[in-house]
Amino acid sequence: MLEELNEEQMYKDMGEEGFTALVAAFYRNVREDDLIGPMYPNDDWEGSEERLRDFLLFRFGGVTRYIEKRGHPRLRRRHFPFPVDSAARDRWVKLMRAAMDETNVPDPHYQTLLGFFAHVANFLRNQPDSAE
């Protein structure tokens, strides 16, 4: 129940504007990244940004646009075509953390989001590391 209350408060504190700024900062960094940037289609940056923003708003604010447009998130299935190993996972989290710093996500929401992003990024890992 405590996590749920934090999420409700997070949406109240950050609002749609805060999540929009966070995702925009993240994608500015992703576009320039040599590891995960190439995984994104060059002709759909706006779509990628919209999908992540709407997913986060659904997950943390109850805004239903994501579900209305795309249905169940099915994150593993949707990310399966992209080779996500530990290096890609770690870079994604690093870029998200930089976006959180840039947009001044407040504590304790910073820690909640960082834990969520690390968990999801690890869950999406679908490739062994080269040493495995």
Asked, for residue 131, whether it belongs to a domain, the answer is no
- CA-CA distance, 48 to 77, in Å (whole number)? 16
Residue 39's CATH number: 1.10.490.10
Asked, for residue 118, whether it belongs to a domain, the answer is yes
pLDDT tens profile 31-90: 999 999 999 888 999 999 999 999 999 999 878 887 777 665 666 666 667 788 999 999
Whole-number Cα distances in Å, 31 to 23, 42, 92, 95, 128: 12, 9, 12, 11, 25
Number of domains in the chain: 1
pLDDT tens profile 81-97: 778 899 999 999 999 99
- CA-CA distance, 49 to 37, in Å (whole number)? 13
Asked, for residue 114, whether it belongs to a domain, the answer is yes
**pTM of the entire structure?**
0.86
